[in-house]
Structure 1
Amino acid sequence: MPLCTMVLKRLFKLSRPSGRPEASLPAGRRVYAIGDVHGRLDLLDDLLAQIAQDDARRGSCETDIIMLGDLIDRGPESAGVVERLRLLASHGRRIRFLMGNHEEIFLKALGGDVQALRLLIKVGGKETALSYGITAEEYLACDFDELLILLQRKVPQSHVDFLSGFEDCIVLGDCIFVHAGLRPNLPIDEQRTSDLRWIRKEFIDSDADFGGLVIHGHNVTDEIDRRNNRIGIDTGAYASGRLTALGLEGSEQWSLVADEQAARLSA
């Protein structure tokens, strides 16, 4: 696996902390990075529609969507999220995918690792199993070995192949896209896969220069977490009902948010 590579229409420019030069994408490129979806197909569909409108409004450009990982678990429609994005990618949409720790656990479980399945269930895998057609009665009646067999039968090979092809790090211009973060004081080409997918405190608390602006998910915050060296965009969609995208073009940055509460208020 390669290492490096509405509801409410809410659009605003992000204020930048001072202290480091502005990061920028190569000329002619535009990126929309989407935070952890965690099974919220409703919010994903809303956000993709917002992105399409925003991208068209901004004019011609080479546009990519980058999913920052953790498409699955916790929310109710993991299978639907995977299928929606798989089809978008297969139909030629410029969209790239980063491997989250939840995809890692899921793939290990599907490969026959019962301990990985136990961990998956602890971190929201029940909802994923149900989304693939395992009934609540089957789920309650199964031990872990039986549940593993059921899950292997229910998850299409096309989904396994799709998830297995996710990247771990994408570098575009001065921007570094990862799921979890980077180990401070290590160059990009020496970063461990485990850190790219799992690191938390050592990265979040660091003011190190990572060689570029790191755009990441994994660490839930109420709003976009903007620091000198990183931008975190996991706004806890599965629980908060808010899925966030960060738009980038040149040195400009803006955000789009699909917000279920705002949708209810405006209905």
Structure 2
Amino acid sequence: MRSYAIGDIHGHIDLLLHAHDLIAADRRATGDHDAPVIHLGDYVDRGPDCRGVVQFLMDGTARGEKWLTLKGNHDRMFTRFLRDPKEPEPGLRADLSWLHPRIGGAETLASYGVKNAMDRPLAPVHAEATEAVPQSHLDFLQDRPAWHRRGEVVFVHAGIRPGIAMEAQQETDLVWIRAGFLDDPRDHGFLVLHGHTALDRATHYGNRVNIDSSAAYGGPLTAVVIEGRDVWHLTDNGRVPLQP
């Protein structure tokens, strides 16, 4: 059972288009045009064209592309801010906000035409944002599932709470978790394919594979192909095995 997956995008439409080109090349090489492409979340924040990324994913979905787009913590923060900018985000440190420079919400709003969001009072920024951001974009991001299982692999943005059935997992864990998951070496009964925690390169840990290769910080965007529990990194020169 073959699947493709793409890591954390963070507003980099150029990297996303290249990732899809790599997948298209692998499809041609294998003759398989039915395997789904699973995007692991974090479509917005920090990067230059968050609006373009969301629109690209929406357009592909509307065309009937075999894509699945999962929810990331940054996607949830974006929609939560538009709903109520003072509503706490359970996974975010209390001393931070979506518009804090470390989080990157201002870059998302700038892509929708709301400029200098960090430097202005919250109320007018929010009012301008509610006018500028299409409701269809918010609906699309809000409606994203938080995880997906296909064959021997669970796809999720951040990870899982070990020892809890997938159907009982809490969304906040699925989009935010690090401690208790990243440091757990046990097999979960399936391979977990995730992003969220930025690394220099995609890394296989045996029980999980992290494909967040720091696109948000100037790194590449990783695309992989999975067959059973075997994983290959897709490159301009073809497949490269990704092994523990």
Matched, 1:74 2:50: no
1:97-141 Cα offsets, whole Å, 9 max, x none, are 1110111111111112335597211210111010001134xx366
Letter matched to residue 134 of structure 1:
V
Letter matched to residue 43 of structure 2:
L
Q: Is the 8 A contact 2:106 2:118 kept in 1?
A: no
Distance 1:175 1:243 in 2: 20
Letter matched to residue 231 of structure 1:
V
Q: Is the 8 A contact 1:180 1:219 kept in 2?
A: yes
**Pair 1:80–1:61, CA change in 2 (3 A):** closer
* 1:172 equivalent among 141, 145, 150: 150
Q: Is the 8 A contact 1:106 1:116 kept in 2?
A: no
Distance 1:199 1:141 in 2: 30
**Pair 1:140–1:180, CA change in 2 (3 A):** closer
- Structure 1 runs (4+) deviating above 4 angstroms are 115-118
Equivalent positions of 1:1-267 (< 5 A) are: 25=1, 30-115=2-87, 119-122=97-100, 123-136=103-116, 139=117, 142-257=120-235
Distance 1:81 1:149 in 2: 23
| Unmatched runs of 5 consecutive residues or more in structure 2 | 90-95, 237-244
C-alpha RMSD of matched pairs (Å): 1.7
Shift, 1:146, TM fit: 1.0
Distance 1:199 1:104 in 2: 14
Structure 1 stretch 225-234 or stretch 110-119: which is displaced more? 110-119
TM-score normalised over the length of structure 2: 0.88
SS at match of 1:57: helix
Q: Is the 8 A contact 1:114 1:148 kept in 2?
A: no
Distance 1:197 1:208 in 2: 20
Larger gyration radius, structure 1 or structure 2:
1
TM-score normalised over the length of structure 1: 0.81
Q: Is the 8 A contact 2:158 2:195 kept in 1?
A: yes
SS at match of 1:45: helix
What is the number of residues matched between the two proteins? 228
Shift, 1:251, TM fit: 4.5
Distance 1:60 1:217 in 2: 25
Structure 1 stretch 170-179 or stretch 236-245: which is displaced more? 236-245
SS at match of 1:103: helix
- Quote the sequence identity (%): 38
Distance 1:174 1:87 in 2: 29
Shift, 1:185, TM fit: 1.7
Higher helix share: 1
Shift, 1:192, TM fit: 1.2
Structure 2 match to 1:8? none
Q: Is the 8 A contact 2:152 2:229 kept in 1?
A: no
1:126-173 Cα offsets, whole Å, 9 max, x none, are 11010001134xx36631111111111111111011111101110011
Distance 1:73 1:121 in 2: 9
Letter matched to residue 74 of structure 1:
R
SS at match of 2:35: strand
Distance 1:255 1:216 in 2: 14
Distance 1:46 1:187 in 2: 35
**Pair 1:257–1:133, CA change in 2 (3 A):** farther
Letter matched to residue 127 of structure 1:
E
Q: Is the 8 A contact 1:187 1:210 kept in 2?
A: no
| Unmatched runs of 5 consecutive residues or more in structure 1 | 1-24, 259-267
Distance 2:118 2:71 in 1: 29
